[in-house]
Amino acid sequence: MASTYKTPGVYVREISKFPPSVAQVETAIPAFIGYTEKAKKVNNDDLLNKPTRITSVLDYVTYFGGAPEVKVNSIDLNPTYDVVSVDIEENYYMYEAIRLFYANGGGPCYIVSVGRYGATVANGDGISPGLLRGLAAVKKQDEPTILLAPDAAMMSQGDMNVLHTAMLRQCNDLQDRVCIFDLKENSGEDYATIVENFRNGIGMNFLKYGAAYTPWLKAKLPREISYKNIKDKITSGGNVITLDRLATDASTEAVATRLDDLIDDLSAIETALDTIKTGNFSSLDARAERLATTLRESPIPANLQNLLNYYIQIIDMIRDVIDVGDLDNITIGNNSGEGNLFEALVSDLGPSDANGAIHNIVDQIRKMIEDSAAANNTLSQQVTENSNSGLDFDVASNSSIAYFGNGEDDEERIAPHVQSIIGFWPVLRSSVDLIISTAKNMINSTQDTALDSIPALKNIFTTVSKEYLTLPPSAAIAGVYATVDSDRGVWKAPANVSLNTVADVTTLIDRQIQDGLNIDTVAGKSINAIRPFTGKGIMVWGARTLAGNDNEWRYVPVRRFFNMAEESIKKATEQFVFEPNDANTWVKVRAMIENFLILQWRAGALAGATPDDAFYVKIGLGQTMTSMDILNGYMIVEIGMAVVRPAEFIVLNFSHKMQES
């Protein structure tokens, strides 16, 4: 409103009397970095290395798939086919970690998928695929406040150390998040050695941002077991035994085997396509080399529309070749092999509904390919982008133009066509994944019927599916952080809390062992214990950071409260950038911060009988700034907080009292 008035009338002026407020940021938003079954929102792998926010296990399954295939090492039966012992090897922990996180009170979180199941768990270099690349991706996200990588436990201790130190460095750079670390699983190795290797490898930098927990947990989460996981692993009295399915189920088992082969071949073809993308045809493996030969020897179409149809034929050829596994006997438009997967599914599964379902899916996929070529011009765009390679796109021409270009060698001639097919591969792969998923559902339905008729086999399935999952504890701890923050506040120690869906721990830790974990007299690297207590369950029994000898940053709640307060006040004060650096602004800033800290004191986060005892806020010329600071544009605020610390050791002094009456 102008300060001078030129026209007669009534003017209203709204005068601001209240200071702005500080909104508390979220404190328990973990970012999980690891390997998943898929990473797909629209197209395959479009979520790889892209932090994705989810709010439930259902969200995770929708975008990242389910559990990895269970690896059963052995199942020992007694003479009556009762299960005596089961040896299961866990691999890829992300899916189970998410289930454990939500079982223990987790809320919103971020998923960073760095690769699919089957890939080697590795750090990479931050650019090539690996956990470090996922860590670099999550650095660009402002919301996460906790970092953890459950799959890191599958690497060697040396590689884990590299990842852990990189996570600590990111926390120090951003100052808005902490790390939760797992130790290696205690699988026969001396437990003291595992602890020593972790402490030696983590270094001494930025330890106040990390917290480690041990031992691993035995979780009560159901598994999904298929017949192929166990059929060669069953023994009785030291002898391998085979529980054959019913004869009517033999064809289903054959189809299941064909599906497994298809999935393996899909991975091989994608690896070959990745090689082709680099333009290095000389390094192709035998399968991809035969594909290149087939393309070179195929009939040449006469115009662009024929070229698009030609690519559709190529896609059909790839589909057939994946199943047959022999490129030498395949020609365009004439499948001379033993038949394709879809025909096998129809003939093997038999029922008319299965027949119709498979045919319906194939017809839809074919139509999708044709519509994409005709309407969306996906292939046309890919080919046009490669026009600088000598291709002639004269649609009206009916002459036999050499669409392989004028290159001097086969690599130059075939490159534009192969690159176009590569561009369309995600659509094809998505379609094949749909067929695989449908076929698996049919097979599982058939298996369930067969299992009901084989009591011994059904008993094995039931027992194995109930076998406890052995998981690293970081995900459950992240859930505890979320629960405690929601129920009490970030200032409350996330300890003396029982874990849900956890039946046991892999290593029992007594008071003597925890003495060495909690207090590290050499370097102060405290490790928090998870212990079972009679009548209480599995309890988190520690709340120290790795800076266990640091009086300022010894405790997890202190570190996390400062992170919250710093980030909240930082975001709130951004509105004062470029405001006049004078007393009027200083009063607003001080009032805003003091109001926020008073609320924290009332909630119990700050110690002191009065607000003056709990915190102070200083700002002003002669207090926090000099005249030169103001001239240089610096507005400096000093904040002191007496954050409550957990009563880690409660000492009860008892003494004899003399009789007085």
Instruction: Give the residue extent of every domain in the chain.
Output: 30-69+87-223+469-556, 249-450, 579-661
Position 358 confidence tier, pLDDT thresholds 50, 70, 90: very low
Encoded amino acid at 150, one letter:
P
How many other C-beta atoms can be found within 10 angstroms of the C-beta atom of residue 386? 17
Position 648 confidence tier, pLDDT thresholds 50, 70, 90: confident
Q: Match 């768990």 to its residue by tokens.
A: 121
How many other C-beta atoms can be found within 10 angstroms of the C-beta atom of residue 468? 17
387's tokens: 């026009």
pLDDT digits (tens, 9 = 90+) for 204-216: 999 999 999 999 9
Residue 393 has a pLDDT of 35
By three-state DSSP, how is residue 245 classified? coil
The better pLDDT of the pair 35, 451 is held by 35
Q: Which helix (H) or strand (E) holds 255?
A: helix 250-277
pLDDT digits (tens, 9 = 90+) for 16-39: 777 788 999 999 999 999 999 999
Q: Is there a contact between 91 and 149 (Cβ–Cβ < 8 Å)? A: no
Report the b/e string of 250-279 with b at 16+ CB within 10 A: ebbbebbebbeebbebbeebbebbebbeee
Mean pLDDT across the stretch 499-515?
A: 91
Residue 102 has pLDDT above 70, yes or no: yes
CA distance 253 to 262: 14
Residue 629 has pLDDT above 70, yes or no: yes
Residue 377 has a pLDDT of 43
**Burial category of 655 from C-beta neighbours within 10 Å (exposed 0-12, middle 13-18, buried 19 and up):** exposed
Nearest-5° angle of CA 17, CA 20, CA 24?
150
Residue 275 has a pLDDT of 56
Q: Percent of the chain having pLDDT more than 90?
A: 44
List CB contacts of 323: < 8 A, sequence separation 6 or more.
Answer: 258, 261, 262, 265, 337, 339, 340, 341, 344
Q: What are phi and psi of 211, to 5 degrees?
A: -140, 135
Residue 485 has pLDDT above 90, yes or no: yes
Residue 510 has pLDDT above 80, yes or no: yes
155's tokens: 């690497």
* Omega prior to 144 cis, within 30 of 0: no
Residue 561 has a pLDDT of 95
Query: Out of 49-53, 80-84, 353-357, 577-581, which region has the weakest mean confidence (pLDDT)?
Result: 353-357
Q: Is there a contact between 548 and 524 (Cβ–Cβ < 8 Å)? A: yes
30-69+87-223+469-556: CATH class: alpha beta
Residue 269 has a pLDDT of 57
- Give one DSSP letter per residue of 122-141, joined into a string: ----SSSSSHHHHHHHHTT-
The better pLDDT of the pair 224, 440 is held by 224
The better pLDDT of the pair 190, 537 is held by 537
pLDDT digits (tens, 9 = 90+) for 377-432: 444 444 444 333 333 333 333 332 333 344 454 445 445 555 555 555 665 566 55
CA distance 480 to 478: 5
Residue 624 has pLDDT above 80, yes or no: yes
The better pLDDT of the pair 348, 642 is held by 642
By three-state DSSP, how is residue 169 classified? helix
Residue 617's Cβ-side half-sphere holds a number of Cα atoms within 13 Å equal to: 16
Query: Out of 337-341, 437-441, 577-581, which region has the weakest mean confidence (pLDDT)?
Result: 337-341
List CB contacts of 369: < 8 A, sequence separation 6 or more.
Answer: 312, 315, 427, 428, 431
Position 77 confidence tier, pLDDT thresholds 50, 70, 90: confident
Mean pLDDT across the stretch 257-264?
A: 59
Mean pLDDT across the stretch 540-545?
A: 94
CA distance 222 to 227: 16
250's tokens: 């033999």
The better pLDDT of the pair 222, 188 is held by 222
Residue 523 has a pLDDT of 85
Q: Which helix (H) or strand (E) holds 364?
A: helix 352-371
Give me the residues paired with residue 618 across strands: 638
CA distance 103 to 157: 28
The better pLDDT of the pair 84, 513 is held by 513
568's tokens: 């909240």
In the DSSP assignment, the letter for residue 121 is: P
Closest CA to 215 of 549, 499, 456: 499
Residue 322 has a pLDDT of 39
Give me the residues paired with residue 619 across strands: 637
Q: Is there a contact between 131 and 149 (Cβ–Cβ < 8 Å)? A: yes
What's the whole-number average pLDDT of the chain? 75
Residue 134 has pLDDT above 90, yes or no: yes
Length of the chain equals 661
The better pLDDT of the pair 452, 93 is held by 93
Residue 259 has a pLDDT of 57
The better pLDDT of the pair 45, 324 is held by 45
Q: Which helix (H) or strand (E) holds 537?
A: strand 537-541
Residue 85 has a pLDDT of 80
Residue 161's Cβ-side half-sphere holds a number of Cα atoms within 13 Å equal to: 15
Q: How far is residue 638 from each of residues 22, 94, 631, measured CA to CA in Å? A: 16, 42, 19
Residue 146 has pLDDT above 90, yes or no: yes
Sign of CA dihedral 159, 165, 169, 175: positive
264's tokens: 């393996």
Mean pLDDT across the stretch 533-554?
A: 92
Strands 109-116 and 30-36, bridge-based pairing: parallel
CA distance 194 to 188: 10
Mean pLDDT across the stretch 254-275?
A: 58
CA distance 279 to 352: 46
By three-state DSSP, how is residue 211 classified? strand
Residue 584 has pLDDT above 70, yes or no: yes
CA-only gyration radius of the chain, Å: 32
Mean pLDDT across the stretch 142-164?
A: 94
Residue 12 has pLDDT above 80, yes or no: yes
Report the b/e string of 17-51 with b at 16+ CB within 10 A: eeeeebebbbbbbbbbbbbbbbbbeeebbebbbbb
Q: How far is residue 279 from each of residues 17, 269, 310, 412, 414, measured CA to CA in Å? A: 67, 16, 22, 9, 10
Q: Which helix (H) or strand (E) holds 502?
A: strand 502-505
Mean pLDDT across the stretch 182-206?
A: 86
